[in-house]
Structure 1
């Protein structure tokens, strides 16, 4: 014991024990430090694991596709909520369940049933498998899925199976809708009545429909890949390119342009080109959509109407409106005094030709003369017909004086060749007046130059006709005389010096007088009784027709009130100048009321040959009269530009057969056929029928047999003053029409004045 104590008391032993204790302390400290480090690493790893799990769960939650992770044995190790929702199973309840036992009802792309193991098996080519599962909208609803299965060999727990499930129902429906939309678009495009095409950014045709191909005179196959510009008319290419550039640059969303195209057969067609640019979602251009509407017929119709508005319908020459524009342009030029002149042409004896052979022959003569004037003028001027047998030639030529005389000489030479009319050789002649532009006529405009040519023409007529006179200042006396005569005419209308004479109209079957046509005369204080030809042109030129019409309506109403019969009617010729503002209709209706007349007793007679263009205001006034019971009568039936359209568009109650058809019957077979046909047409339309210009008993009997109910002409009497008619013609008349109004839609009216 003591030795042991001594041993412990030894310094060496004490030092050794101290060292051992230090070593133990160091070891304890080391192990404590190491344990703390391991705990810290473990805590850090756990924290990282938690972060990774949260991130994984966040990814799984926000992923567009559902995810299933399974062990190599097929048991579900994890299923995202989205996968469970897509498959219609509980994500938490699927944990540990074999893939083959998942409660999933699936079908393949051909609607054949699939076992879950088949549905989740990987494909040989690694591409997604298309399966269908029940939807939420009934037994017919199927949700289509893309299922991709992959085996991951280096997973954290060894190999694992990763299955992604993507619901493609919306994409599939969108694709089907797009396919249906594309199919509908293509069907609509193929069957569209207008031309349609798809054009790429290089302006090449990629798709066209049949209407487009037919418009271009080609086939659909031949047009595919064709540069669209190659079909365009060369003169319209620049306008097309300018619009395309603006469209491409975003300055406009689409454009519309009327232009020409050259068909495969070389013919030119007009079309309205509508172009829209289709862009990608980002705004980049993709392709053009083109619609092409053929406007060739519309344009030709518009050009025809424009031509008719500026040209004489009988001869095709320029009319007064176009002549006015041409003269205005010519005299406005700085060198007009040396380059511009006018020739006024008036046929000699034309009225006698009309009276002898009828209006149809007169029209043929006018067409013949128009050809002579065209040939004589050539390209040196514009030939116009300004009315009746009056023509004007506006000439522009560097040596205008020589050109005017050359044209005048050529006209006289052309007229020396006789015109064949019904086996007769008719010699035509013309009086010509020439006027060169000078300072005075240029200042006065085209009207002054035309007036000067007219004055020279009247001098030619006075000097013996069929000759040419050149204007000189002394001839202005004639023009001044016309002005004075116009002023005198205006005063005569105010004073009641223009009076009506009445030509009887009879029922052909019974030869009973049923009405009268009122014809105007001027009882001049010094020149005696003047026929309409002496003053009607002044009425037109001076705008006196409205004033005259109002005065003559009152005269006709007074005549009817004084007449012995309460059913005899009077027809008044009415011009377009008197219609359109309802003033004439008001005058007629006021006169009917003031004189206590039946509305059927005043008949408005329109001259068909003067109807040129539609005017809705004129039609409205005619309809107003017709609705009030006033009959509307179409004069000169069978002549003019479009008689059938007038019967349809005007509120017509009856028609008067033009005397040109009466003149040759019954000997003229053509005239007889036309008269019979026109009568049948009028009766079929329920219209009253009157034949004018009857001069022989044979004509009256033939027309009566053909169905023409009424007639007038020299056979039955000439126009006489009201007093004479009332004193010598006791009569019992009858109404021209059923008083019930007839409605028509449009009117085309430009009439001869009251005559």
Structure 2
């Protein structure tokens, strides 16, 4: 024991024990320090794992696709909320469940059932598998999914797992189907459209065309694909759309329309309206053009035909009065007109006797024959026109005009010496000719003055024995200077537009609304003021003035209708029989309607009974032509004159106007009341429109309305006023219009 104590007490032993204790302390400190580092690293790793987990959960939550993690033994280790929503599962029930036992009812694209293991199995080519699962909108609703499945190795324990992504493509599929349906509908509409349609690329090359377009161009759909659109254009219209296309491309306009010509495969020309729109991408970049091509060849030809008819005589094909005056004024406006222009007035001798003996058909044949003689005699040195009836005129332009007019006159007489065969008869025609040369006075006075001079020479020729030619000289002027001056002044007034129309309102008696106006002519004389018809109407019936005045007034009425606020207001024009018979008046009416884009029912023609005594076939033909075109015909002064029933039976009458002489005595005059009631009943039985004129009292208006007269006019409702005054008042108008065709007796008469 003592030895042990002694040993521990030795210094060396104590030093060794101290060193050992120090080493043990150092080792303890080292192991403590090392465990702290490992713990800190582990805490850091756990924190990083938590952050990654949070980020993974955030990605899974924000992703539009569902995700499933499946272990190597086939159990669902993880399923995202999106996947649960798409598949109709809950995370608690699906996690840890074998994939094959998931309660998912899946089908393939052919609606055949699929097991869950097959629905979520990888595809051989790596492409997504398309499956269907029940939707939320009923038993027939299917949601279509894209399923991708791939195996990955877990870097932690190197165990393989399977990642399955599920994407709901129902919306995309529905959008694609809708786009496909829309595209199919557009193509069907394009293919079956009655007018031409085409898709054109930005290089103006045809990509697709429909059958109507191919037929319009005289080609086939296959042949036109890839063809430059400009290659189909008429050479003169090759770049008609170029500037418009650039503006469309630059965004200055959304579409444009232009009328141009195309050349068909057989070489024929077709007129068409080209309408172009530009289709752009969502970002605004141009993609392609959509083109609509409408064939307007027939419409244009009809328009040109109407224009030709408006300026030419339908029987002979010669220029009519309107065209002749335009040509003559143009010739007289040239600097050398006083030496190069002359007029030859031609009037057939004994033409009325020819008509009376052989009929109007023979008369028409004679007029056509004379037209041919005048054309041949003129030989391209002037313009031949028919002014009406058997009146012809030639405007001659030639460097040696005085010689040319004499040569033409001699050729006319020579051409007429050849007999005309009519109904096995040889008819000898002859004409009286008057020549007038342009001079300073006629150039200053205009075409009417030169034509009047030629007429004066022609009348001198008739008075001197007919079938001869006279040249105008001052002594041929009419002896009554005042009458002659007024007639010449009236002719100039017609040309200047001094004859104006005033408009008296026509009302529907039941509603007291304005439905139309009667146009009444006035002469706005520069010094004598406003003249009523009695002061100048007889002069209008002089040679050549009636037709000219009628044409001017028809145009004035059409302009008034085009400016009225209502598109149903109509205007009636008074027309005498001597303005009819050669279709010139009808052509002027229809041309004015076309120029101002009016409904034909808005222009109504009024004829007086007195002017229609024994109407000839040509007058009846012209009235029928107007009625068939939609222009109503009214019989004015109904109840006066002779044979009114025969007119209602034989003429294309659309309505009647009760003469004011019957209106004046009602309702106090029993006889007048009975006549008014009887005439109204007769008109209604025939299905005609009924208008009573001259209404001055409220009692007359009420009585006529009770008798069945539908429309009325007179001082009670207003006097005739200028167009500007009428338009400024802007009266409320009704919608009643006169039907040009008589209705059935039981129908509502006189309205469309």
TM-score by length of 1: 0.67
In 1, the alpha carbon distance for the partners of 2:210 and 2:136 equals 43
Which of 631, 636, 644 is equivalent to 2:616? 636
1:514-663 pair list within 5 angstroms = 536-537=542-543, 540=546, 607=580, 609-610=582-583, 612=586, 613-614=589-590, 635-637=615-617, 645-646=625-626, 648=628, 649=630
Which residue number corresponds to residue 180 of structure 2? 179
Which residue number corresponds to residue 246 of structure 1? 247
Which residue number corresponds to residue 350 of structure 2? 349
In 2, the alpha carbon distance for the partners of 1:357 and 1:737 equals 41
In 2, the alpha carbon distance for the partners of 1:113 and 1:746 equals 71
1:196-215 pair list within 5 angstroms = 196-215=197-216
1:58-97 pair list within 5 angstroms = 58-97=58-97
C-alpha change, 1:400 and 1:98, in structure 2 (3 Å) is farther
Which residue number corresponds to residue 272 of structure 1? 273
Contact 1:79–1:92 (CA under 8 A) maintained in structure 2: no
Task: Note the residue ranges of structure 2 that are not aligned, 5 or more in a row.
Answer: 492-537, 553-569, 636-644, 652-677, 690-737, 742-752
More divergent stretch after superposition (420-429 vs 6-15): 6-15
More divergent stretch after superposition (643-652 vs 87-96): 643-652
Which residue number corresponds to residue 366 of structure 2? 365
Which residue number corresponds to residue 108 of structure 2? 108
Which residue number corresponds to residue 222 of structure 1? 223
1:134-173 pair list within 5 angstroms = 134-153=134-153, 155-158=155-158, 159-173=160-174
Q: CA deviation at 1:240?
A: 2.2
Which residue number corresponds to residue 742 of structure 1? 687
1:279-320 CA-partner distances (Å, limit 9, x unpaired):
221222222222222222222222222222221121122211
1:353-407 CA-partner distances (Å, limit 9, x unpaired):
2233222222111111222222333444332212222222234445545544444
- Provide the aligned length of Structure 1 versus Structure 2: 584
Q: CA deviation at 1:217?
A: 2.2
More divergent stretch after superposition (143-152 vs 390-399): 390-399
In 1, the alpha carbon distance for the partners of 2:204 and 2:92 equals 60
In 2, the alpha carbon distance for the partners of 1:623 and 1:385 equals 24
Task: Note the residue ranges of structure 1 that are not aligned, 5 or more in a row.
Answer: 491-531, 547-579, 586-602, 655-682, 691-733, 749-755
Q: CA deviation at 1:132?
A: 0.6
Which residue number corresponds to residue 389 of structure 2? 388
C-alpha RMSD of the superposition:
4.3
More divergent stretch after superposition (238-247 vs 132-141): 238-247
1:173-204 CA-partner distances (Å, limit 9, x unpaired):
22222222222222222222222222222323
C-alpha change, 1:296 and 1:581, in structure 2 (3 Å) is closer
1:263-412 pair list within 5 angstroms = 263-412=264-413
Which residue number corresponds to residue 521 of structure 1? none
SS in 2 for 1:93: helix
1:183-241 CA-partner distances (Å, limit 9, x unpaired):
22222222222222222223232322222222222232332333222222222221122
Contact 1:218–1:264 (CA under 8 A) maintained in structure 2: yes
C-alpha change, 1:249 and 1:478, in structure 2 (3 Å) is farther
1:411-455 CA-partner distances (Å, limit 9, x unpaired):
333223222222232232333334444443333333333334334
In 1, the alpha carbon distance for the partners of 2:471 and 2:118 equals 112
In 2, the alpha carbon distance for the partners of 1:205 and 1:54 equals 58
Which of 624, 639, 649 is equivalent to 1:688? 649
In 1, the alpha carbon distance for the partners of 2:55 and 2:312 equals 89
1:239-295 CA-partner distances (Å, limit 9, x unpaired):
122222222222221122222222222222222222222222122222222222222
Contact 1:688–1:736 (CA under 8 A) maintained in structure 2: no
Asked if 1:57 is matched to 2:57, the reply is yes
Which residue number corresponds to residue 261 of structure 1? 262
In 1, the alpha carbon distance for the partners of 2:188 and 2:328 equals 56
C-alpha change, 1:452 and 1:689, in structure 2 (3 Å) is closer
C-alpha change, 1:93 and 1:481, in structure 2 (3 Å) is same
C-alpha change, 1:242 and 1:12, in structure 2 (3 Å) is same
In 2, the alpha carbon distance for the partners of 1:277 and 1:412 equals 67
Which residue number corresponds to residue 232 of structure 1? 233
C-alpha change, 1:429 and 1:99, in structure 2 (3 Å) is same
In 2, the alpha carbon distance for the partners of 1:451 and 1:604 equals 23
In 1, the alpha carbon distance for the partners of 2:277 and 2:316 equals 46
Considering Cα pairs closer than 8 Å and 6+ residues apart, tell me whether 1 or 2 has the greater RCO: 1
In 2, the alpha carbon distance for the partners of 1:205 and 1:260 equals 17
In 2, the alpha carbon distance for the partners of 1:215 and 1:583 equals 43
Which residue number corresponds to residue 189 of structure 2? 188
C-alpha change, 1:222 and 1:446, in structure 2 (3 Å) is same
